[in-house]
Amino acid sequence: MPVLLTVERSEPGPLNEPLISAMLWSADKDPWLLDAQQFRGETELRRWLGEIATKYRDIAVRWTDKLKAEKALAAAVAEALGVAIP
């Protein structure tokens, strides 16, 4: 089943650290949320993406400008999934 991955880092607040949010959507005409997770760092994200990559073979990444601007985060996603950053 083809799926779509969205990833972004939240802005830090006065009482919290920035978190990485990842959502996995079905790539249907009427998409539905398959999984949503939050991570404290790229290492946790990579681990989860590795698990996702074994379950779903056809993963498309929504490469937003914000994601591409965060070099470390974009690199973590690209490396974990074996894809290039556009």
- By mean pLDDT, which of 13-22, 35-44, 68-77 is the weakest? 13-22
5 and 22 in contact (C-beta within 8 Å)?
yes
C-alpha pair distances (Å), 53 with each of 12, 28, 69, 71, 74: 29, 18, 23, 21, 16
Average pLDDT over residues 18-41: 93
Element (H, E) at 36: strand 33-39
Give the bridge partners for 36, in sequence order.
23
User: Does residue 13 carry a pLDDT above 80?
Assistant: no
pLDDT digits (tens, 9 = 90+) for 38-68: 999 999 999 999 999 999 989 999 999 999 9
pTM as predicted: 0.88
